[in-house]
């Protein structure tokens, strides 16, 4: 490959630091998301995919940083290599070019399945912890994270008819949270 080396980093929440993921790895441009890897609806991932051109290499710390389920991982690698973009995983020491060996494809499937399994375990532990906290009367559910001014702006724009999915992306909240803000009484 003779094009650019483009980095992609991902952590699951805004308070986590992704700097270690490509530390010391030569890349020309880095895209970074601070959201769950449960699906492909990640703004910086989409920007990285659009930025990649034939001959480029997308460099990712590990497979689970790119996708947390096998279907998405295989789709991303397949789509990128079909466009002539190599995908390099630093931790696993694997690079996919579209001319991959059966062993490389087996490793992609096995390690992708492990990432998917890890996510399922995380969700199971989370559900168990919430059930225990609810039983003890300690669970209060998610808290609103937008300030009063931002929440008011969100309500105003949604009421004016702006696209709700677009607003959710812009305000960095889920669509479910957006609807919660719309139902909540404004605080003054």
Catalytically active residues, by annotation: 12
> Quick one: tokens of 109?
């499937």
Instruction: Count the neighbouring beta carbons within 10 Å of the beta carbon of residue 81.
Output: 17
Hunting for tokens 């308070």 — which residue is that? 15
Strand (E) or helix (H) holding 133: helix 102-135
> Quick one: tokens of 108?
């992609």
Closest CA to 25 of 90, 96, 95, 94: 90
């Amino acid at each position: 490959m003779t094009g650019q080396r483009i980095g992609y980093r991902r952590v699951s929440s805004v308070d986590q630091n992704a700097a270690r993921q490509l530390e010391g790895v030569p890349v020309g441009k880095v895209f970074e998301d601070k959201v769950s890897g449960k699906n492909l609806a990640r703004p910086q991932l989409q920007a990285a995919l659009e930025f990649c051109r034939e001959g480029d290499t997308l460099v990712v710390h590990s497979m689970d940083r790119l996708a947390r389920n096998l279907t998405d991982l295989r789709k991303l690698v397949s789509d990128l290599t079909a466009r002539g973009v190599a995908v390099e995983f630093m931790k696993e020491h694997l690079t996919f070019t579209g001319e991959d060996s059966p062993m490389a494809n087996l490793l992609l499937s096995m390690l992708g399945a492990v990432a998917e399994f890890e996510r399922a375990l995380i969700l199971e532990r989370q559900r168990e912890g919430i059930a225990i906290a609810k039983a003890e009367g300690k669970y209060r559910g998610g808290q609103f994270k937008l300030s009063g001014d931002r929440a008011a702006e969100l309500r105003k724009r949604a009421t004016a008819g702006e696209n709700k999915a677009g607003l959710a992306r812009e305000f960095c909240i889920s669509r479910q949270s957006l609807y919660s803000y719309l139902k909540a009484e404004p605080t003054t």
